[in-house]
Amino acid sequence: MVDKKENQNIIDRIWSLFSSVTLAVINFSAISLTSIVGTIIEQQAEPERNIKLLSKFFGDSAPTVYKMLDTLGFTDMFRSWWFITLLFIFAANLIICSIDRLPAIWKVAKEPIKPIPPDRFNSMPIKREIVLKMRLDNAKNIVEAGMKKIGFASNQHEENELQFYAEKGRYSRLGVYVTHFSIIIILIGAVAGIFLGFNGSLNLLEGTTSAVAYSFGTAKEIPLGFEIRCDDFDVSFYDNSDTPRAFRSKLAIIENGKEVLKKEIEVNTPLRYKGITFYQSSYNFSSNKDALFLFTMTPNNGKQEDIQFGFDEPFKISGTNVTGKVADFSPALGMDESGKLFTYANLMNNPAVFIEFSEGGKVVHKQWILKRYQETWKTPYGIAVFKDLWGVQATGLQVRKDPGVWIVYLGCLIMGIGLYAAFFMSHSRIWVRLVSDKNNTKVYFAASANKNKISLEQKIDKLIKSFGG
């Protein structure tokens, strides 16, 4: 290919450049080396952050270095024109290389094994020779059965002499090409996702509904085509510790005013509807006047009942003249060393509500009730179980539409198959000649394998042993 450079026209030259493995490894290096820079320089970050980082290496000239890197696109390099170009060359390289070599390899993969002339037995990578003390007819049956036992269903050829030949894993030769093809599929899927999908986010307060998401960065509204409502958000913790165990949102999909789907999502189990996926990604706490406290109240000599009330809304304890009223609330009540109370997190780690009980307009009792601690539920007027404060937590959803993701996954599956064929399968071939020699039979073995020759050799030796040869 390279030798005939003189007579090649420009198209041929480009073709041979793009079908070369050399270009591939140069490109691997280029992508890797530039990517290293991309992991050191923080991508899409505020300039100050990177200038601070650079000043560790370059001192006072950091701003200049930053400017240079910024101009070259290194501050957002995975989207820069030259990085995309490298990926483009990568794809073109793969496609052209595959087209260039496919006919030859296809021929090999399609061509079934043929008998070989006796003199080629000596030049095979694996060769063995034994004498069986039996006539050809018997030997023939034994050899054929033995071949079958090690997984080689033999073909038979009889011209001047008897020859068995068999092969396994011929199509595994295509594994490399399947692998390369899968990379192209994955790239197509990725591009499809970029052009046909979107990536956004949505903060939904408990009890509210939205028909749009907001795109990352630009915060532009993206209509969903349906409405989504958050019915509840909840964080659970490991054994009253502050290590979160699960984040859960109860979501409902509403289409044309009708509720069509309800699902509870968690991190790692998103909700999919009409090609749009909602992921549990964050949470917020916002004080909200309309929030409701949910309690289960069991008065001292009364029946258990569920009650709910707002911040400024006194509630009556049935069977008494006592009313309760929220005086204070903390989502995460903690106590410092001097015994002072404070709020230590803005998540509902340890929700606590301070209730003032009054009778005849006079405050008669005040008490903190903590959701986590049963001891605090007992009041002079009965048991007050603090179940939840509803309407103050907002679930942070990541909203994504990516029609390419299934193409990407298909590519991954194909890659798995291709790699398996390329590395864990081999194309192995065996030929056996049987030559009658008086009452005995001489048996000649020849074999080859493109991978894992040793294992084939061991198989043949075991077979020979089983013949007692």
* Residue list 215-234, contact with other proteins (CB under 8 A): none
21 part of the interface to other proteins, by CB under 8 A: yes
CB closer to ligand HEM, 97 vs 447: 97
- Residue 376, C-beta contacts closer than 8 angstroms, at least 6 positions apart: 352, 367, 368, 369, 370
Question: Which of other proteins, ligand HEM, none is residue 32 near (CB under 5 to 8 Å by kind)?
Answer: other proteins
**Residue in 10, 36, 104, 219 binding other proteins, rule: CB under 8 A:** 36
CB closer to ligand HEM, 41 vs 183: 183
Size, binding site for other proteins by CB under 8 A: 48
94 part of the interface to ligand HEM, by CB under 6 A: yes
24 part of the interface to ligand HEM, by CB under 6 A: yes
443 part of the interface to ligand HEM, by CB under 6 A: no
185 part of the interface to ligand HEM, by CB under 6 A: no
The amino acid at residue 220 is K
The amino acid at residue 182 is S
Question: Which of other proteins, ligand HEM, none is residue 40 near (CB under 5 to 8 Å by kind)?
Answer: other proteins
**Residue in 71, 122, 123, 268 binding other proteins, rule: CB under 8 A:** 268
Report, in Å, the least distance between residue 181 CB and ligand HEM.
Answer: 10
139 part of the interface to ligand HEM, by CB under 6 A: no
Report, in Å, the least distance between residue 236 CB and other proteins.
Answer: 9
422 part of the interface to ligand HEM, by CB under 6 A: yes
* Residue list 62-121, contact with other proteins (CB under 8 A): 78
176 part of the interface to ligand HEM, by CB under 6 A: yes
**Residue in 126, 132, 162, 183 binding ligand HEM, rule: CB under 6 A:** 183
- Residue 265, C-beta contacts closer than 8 angstroms, at least 6 positions apart: 248, 249, 251, 271, 278, 279, 280
How far, in Å, CA of 131 to CA of 139, rounded?
10
Contact 384, 297 (CB under 8 A): yes
75 part of the interface to ligand HEM, by CB under 6 A: no
Report, in Å, the least distance between residue 54 CB and ligand HEM.
Answer: 31
410 part of the interface to other proteins, by CB under 8 A: no
Count of alpha carbons within 13 angstroms of residue 275, beta-carbon side: 13
CB closer to ligand HEM, 93 vs 249: 93
Question: Which of other proteins, ligand HEM, none is residue 97 near (CB under 5 to 8 Å by kind)?
Answer: ligand HEM
x/- letters, 180..209, toward other proteins (CB under 8 A): ----------x--------x----------
**Residue in 140, 168, 180, 401 binding ligand HEM, rule: CB under 6 A:** 180
Report, in Å, the least distance between residue 171 CB and ligand HEM.
Answer: 14
**Residue in 50, 75, 93, 154 binding ligand HEM, rule: CB under 6 A:** 93
Q: By CB under 6 A, which span of 86-94, 185-193, 197-205, 392-400 interacts with ligand HEM?
A: 86-94
Contact positions vs other proteins (CB under 8 A): 21-22, 24-25, 28-29, 31-32, 35-36, 38-40, 42-43, 78, 190, 199, 238, 241, 243-247, 266-270, 277, 279-281, 398-400, 405, 408-409, 412, 415-416, 419-420, 422-424
Contact positions vs ligand HEM (CB under 6 A): 21, 24, 90, 93-94, 97, 176, 179-180, 183, 422
